[in-house]
Amino acid sequence: MSTGHSLEQILEAHIRTLALTLRPDTVSAYRGAARRFLSYLRTAFPQVRRLSQLRRDPHLLGWFRSLCEQQPPLCNKTRANLLICLRRLLDDLTANGHSLSPDLIRCEDFPPPPHYLPRPLSLQDDQQLQQELRRTDDLSANALLLTRATGIRIGECVDLALDCLRQVGPDQWALLVPLGKRPTERLVPADPDIRQIVARILALRAVAPPACLAHSEGWLLPYSGSRDALYQTLRPALAHAAQRAGCSGPVTPHRLRHSFASEMVRFGVSLPALMQLLGHKDIRMTLRYVQVTQQDLQREFHAARQNAARPHRLPTLSIPNLSYLQAPTFPASVKPCLPHATSWRCIAADSAMRKLGETSNASIGGCSLSTRNWVASP
């Protein structure tokens, strides 16, 4: 496809096409990757103005090197996401008929993925932090308590609707978690403690300033500015509560999710169920959240040994007594019915099958016993 448009125009036009089906956050990621790459080209290779001029070396390799040398340094995950977005854009343009060199971005260009470790709070830190949040008892503290009790993401907590608490059965309640990182809603079971936290948030919401309520109609957590501003207030509120509680290290909202996941496993929740509670689509991600301590191993090991020491009784099947059954007797007037004898004749004695029958052990009169050569005589 020959076109007189510049690199900027072509990429922006395609990103607008993607925006018709993708989520806004995803579109922003594609646009950010394109702008970073174009900014590098304008600085290092201002003469490159067409897609057909792009080469792996030096244009793409030079950009990869600039990402590694950026200050402050980018983490491997951020660099990998930038490469994924740009590769998708270039592949789409190639599929649409634009002239591009092959293999501009290869698998070996991606940095190794980070090795995530579960980061739950220690039992002492977790208890002290929850006690401090209950003592504080304001909207931010109760929102953080709700995050810890349900394992939802902090962004999902900010987006909870006013009627998020739903009754799903007799004496069964659940928290309707809105769209998060996955484009699906989910229901998280709500026990009396969770329902009490929601009720406390509603009570504090009722006495919030009118300016907050005017901007947050329909939302559980009121805010006066933007929802991003509310999200930014929860992080320092958690950090300050952790300091007051005397936690041994810094505490972030995501560590509350890790603490929830590890606690659920210790309570006996299976990994598939925990995956649904956390809103994951891959159980491998769930495993990153769960911390199995030596105490957990000892408990599981000794419980398994105790179960193995107990004798397992095999079920016994009762065999019915059939001695009372006797062979049936028939009166003399009843005669057994003999099967009707059917005679057969060959219909292919002169065919090629005759020769096969002559050399076969299974033959009658030189004809194969195949059912294709025999029909019942009238």
Tokens of 279: 């809103």
The position carrying tokens 């067409």 is: 50
CA angle 226, 229, 231 (to 5 degrees): 115
Pairing outcome for strands 363-364 and 186-190: unpaired
Catalytic residues: 153, 181, 254, 257, 280, 289
Query: Measured between alpha carbons, how far is 55 from 100 in angstroms, rounded to an integer?
Result: 8
The CB-side HSE value for 246 (13 A sphere, CA atoms) comes to 5
The CA distance from 368 to 130, in Å, is: 89
At residue 89, what is the residue type? L
Of 164, 142, 137, the closest CA to residue 220 belongs to 164
Tokens 């003399």 correspond to: 332
Q: Which of 170, 163, 35, 41 is nearest to 89 (CA)?
A: 35
CB 7 within 8 A of CB 50: yes
Q: How far apart are CA 144 and CA 149, in angstroms?
A: 9
